[in-house]
Structure 1
Amino acid sequence: MSSRLTDERLDGVFDQLPLLAGRPRTLQQLSGGLTNRNMKITTPDGVYVARCFDTGANLLGIDRDREHYNSVAAERAGIGAPVLDYRPDLGVLLLQYLDGKTLCDADFQRDGVIARAAEACRTLHGGPRFRGRFDMFERQPAYLETVRRHGFAIPAGYLEHAGAFAAAERVLTATDTTTVPCNNDLLAGNFIDDGDRMWLIDYEYSGNNDPCFELGNIWSECGLSLDQLDELVTSYYGCRSRCRTARAHLQGLVAKYGWTLWGCIQHGSSAIEFDFWAWAMERYEAAVAAFTGPGYARLLDDVARAD
C-alpha cells in the first residue's frame, strides 16, 4: 500500500475529496481487498466506500482508469454501486455504500441464489460496453512473464500443462467470439444482496469477454458443483445447453490455471497477510486434475459440438 494511504494519513487523503472534506466521519476497514484496502466511511450526510490502491508498483496488470470507466458503466447498467469520485493521484475510487448482505460460498447453496446471480450477470452483460477486453489467454502469458522477470516461485510442473491450456484456447476461439462487458472476478464476496436486487462490485479485472468465462469463473470461485454450473448456465441463457455448459466449465478451468500465476505474483510481492501460495495451489491442482483426467478430451469435444 502506498505510503500516502497508511492508516495515519487516510484522513488527510479523504479531506481532499469534496464529499468528505471537513465532515466528521468514522472509518471501518471492510473484509476482502487482496490488492487494495476498502474503507467504509460513515458521515452525517451519507455512507461511502473508498477503494484505496497503491499508486506505485502494479505487477498484476490492473488499469485503474479502466476500472473507473467500467465501474461507471456498471452503474449505468443498474448493477454497480454509484461512482462518486475518482482520484488516481491519491489512489482512491469513492463509491456509494451498498447496504446489503455480502455473499459467501455457502449462500450459493441456498435456493434461488444461482438464478439471481445469473440474472445479475445478464444485467451487467446487457449494459454499456466496457473499455478494454479481458482474455485469460493474453493475461496468463503476461503474468508468466512477470513471474519470470522477478524470479517468483511457481508450482512444480506448471509449464507441463501449457499444451492443455493451448487446446482450450483453440476450441474456445474457434467456436465463439462473442464478448460482453464482464466483471471477470465474481467470487462470492463481489455479490451484494440488498433483498430486492443483486449488485456486482469490484471492477479491477473488468473488460469485454466471453460471457461463459464469467459463468465459469463463478463456478470456479464460489465452490459450485458441475450440476450447479449447469443450473447457472441454464438460468443465464434461459434453456439448457450442453455445449454452453461445457464452454463455461472449460473457461472455469482456464481461469484456475491463469489465476494460479496471479497468486504466485502476490505470494512473491504482496505485504498483505494472506496465504497466496495456498490460494494459488488450490486452483492449480484443480486445473491439473481436469487437464490430465480422462474427461478432458470429451470436454473439448462438447464445447465444439452444437446442441
Structure 2
Amino acid sequence: MYALSEYLKQMNSILPKDGVYELVPLEEGFSNQTFCIRWCNQPQLVLRLTQESDDLFGVNRELEFHIWRQAAQQGLTANIVWQQQSCVVSQFLAGHTFSWAVAHQDATLKPVCEVVQRLHQQPSVSQEYCVYALLERWLKALSENHCDSDMLTPIEQVQHFYRMLPKAPRADTLVLCHNDLNPKNVILKSNRAWLIDWECAAMNDPLFDLGVLAHAHHLNYEQLQQAYSIIIGGALDKEHRYRIECYRQAYVLRELVWLLLSS
C-alpha cells in the first residue's frame, strides 16, 4: 500500500491545477483513515485509505466498489471519482451525519427509511452476508490470535454471548442490504438522505438492516413500526419483530467482537 503522499501525486487530474488544496482529517470513521479535500474555501472531495485487513474482516473490495458505483448511479450515495488499490476518492456530500445519541423525529427518520427502501430494490449481487457466519469466523480468529492473559476473559465472555444469542432463521428472500446503518453512515440534508461506507453491503435479509437501524438509531416501538412500514411495507407482525430483535442483538455482538479484533 502506498503512503498518502504517493496517492496524492497520482490523483493530480482531480485536484486543482495550481496544487493549492487542504487535506483535513475526518474523525468519524473507525476502520479507515478518511480526509476531506478542500479548495476555494469549500469541501470538494472525500479521500479514504483502507486500514483494516480485508481477509480478516471479510471485506470484498471489488464487490464494495461495484455496489458503491451502482448505488451512486441511483442517487443513493456519492460518486467515486478516483480509485486505486486501498485508496478511494468520492464527491463530498453536503449535509450532516447523525450523532451516536440520535433521537429521530418523523422529519429525519422518514428520509433515512426511504433511502434504505430504495437500496433494497437495487439489483442483486453475487455475495451474501450472514452475521452469524461472520461472528463465528471472528470468534475463531480471536481465539487463535490473542494469547494475552488480559484478553482471555473478554474472549470467553463474547463466546458465551454468542452461544446464548437467539438466531433468526435465514430468510427465503434476500435483497441488497447495507448491513452497517449506524448514524455515521447516513448523511441528511433537508428531506434527503444518502448512505455511505459500503464495506459490509451484500445480499441479506432486509430485516437485518431494520435491526441495525433500530439499535443504532435508538428507535422506539412506534418508530420501528414506521420504519418497517416504509422499508418492508405493511404492519409489523410478531414473527418479523422477533427476527428484528435477533438481528439487533447480533449487531451489538458484532460491534463488540470487532472492537476486540481491532485492539
Q: TM-score, normalised by structure 2?
A: 0.86
Query: Is 2:31 aligned against 1:32?
Result: no
Name the residue aligned to 1:240: 235
| 2:167 aligned with 1:168 | yes
Deviation of 1:105 (Å): 4.0
Q: How does 1:20-169 map to 2 (within 5 A)?
A: 20=15, 22=17, 23-43=19-39, 47-54=44-51, 59-88=56-85, 91-151=86-146, 153=151, 154-165=154-165, 167-169=166-168
User: Does the CA contact (< 8 Å) of 2:131 and 2:254 recur in 1?
Assistant: yes
Deviation of the 1:238 alpha carbon: 3.2
Structure 1 residues 139 and 84, CA, compared in 2 at 3 Å: closer, same or farther? same
Q: Provide structure 1 residue ranges, at least 5 long, that are not aligned to the other structure.
A: 268-307
Q: Distance in 1 between matches of 2:191 and 2:108?
A: 12
Query: Following superposition of structure 1 onto structure 2, how do residues 211-290 of structure 1 map, counting pairs within 5 Å?
Result: 211-242=206-237, 243-267=239-263
Does the CA contact (< 8 Å) of 1:49 and 1:96 recur in 2? yes
Structure 2 unaligned regions, length at least 5: none
Question: Which of 58-67 and 91-100 deviates more?
Answer: 58-67
Question: Is the partner of 2:59 in helix, strand or coil?
Answer: coil
Higher strand share: 2
Shift in Å, 1:158:
2.8
What value does the CA root-mean-square deviation take over the aligned residues? 2.4
Structure 1 Cα separation of the partners of residues 69 and 185 of structure 2: 16
The whole-number CA distance in structure 2 between the counterparts of 1:81 and 1:129 is 20
Does the residue aligned with 2:199 lie in a helix, a strand or coil? coil
Residue 124 of structure 1: how far off its partner (Å): 1.0
Instruction: Provide the rounded CA distance (Å) in 2 between the counterparts of 1:234 and 1:184.
Output: 19
Segment of structure 1 superposing worse, 237-246 or 97-106:
237-246
Deviation at 1:205, TM superposition (A): 1.1
- Count of matched residue pairs: 254
**How much identity, in percent, do the aligned residues show?**
21
4+ residue segments displaced more than 6 Å: none
Q: Any idea what the Cα deviations from partners look like across 1:129-149, whole Å, max 9, x if unmatched?
A: 235221102111111121112
State the shift of 1:48 in Å: 0.6
SS in 2 for 1:157: helix
Tell me how far 1:14 sits from its aligned partner. 1.3
Deviations 1:165-224 (Å, cap 9, x if unpaired)? Answer: 3x514xx22xx3211111111111111112241000001111111110011011122222
Counterpart for residue 14 of structure 1: 8
What's the secondary structure of 1:239's corresponding residue? coil
Give the distance between the partners of 2:232 and 2:62, measured in 1 at CA.
Answer: 31
Task: Give distance in 2, aligned partners of 1:138 and 1:21.
Answer: 45
8 A contact 2:120–2:176 mirrored in 1: yes
Aligned to 1:202: 197
Deviates more, 1:31-40 or 1:223-232: 223-232
Of 174, 187, 190, the match for 1:192: 187
Task: Judge conservation of contact 2:122–2:176 (CA < 8 Å) in 1.
Answer: yes
TM-score normalized with structure 1 length: 0.75
Q: Does structure 1 conserve the Cα–Cα contact (< 8 Å) formed by 2:102 and 2:217?
A: no
Counterpart of 2:46, as a letter, is V
Amino acid at match of 1:239: G
- Once the two structures are TM-superposed, the CA of residue 54 in structure 1 deviates from its matched residue by 3.0
Which protein, 1 or 2, shows the higher relative CO under an 8 Å CA cutoff with sep ≥ 6? 2
Deviation readout 1:213-239 (Å, 9 max, x if unpaired): 011011122222344323321332332
Going from structure 1 to structure 2, the CA distance change for 1:106 and 1:94 (only over 3 Å counts) comes to same
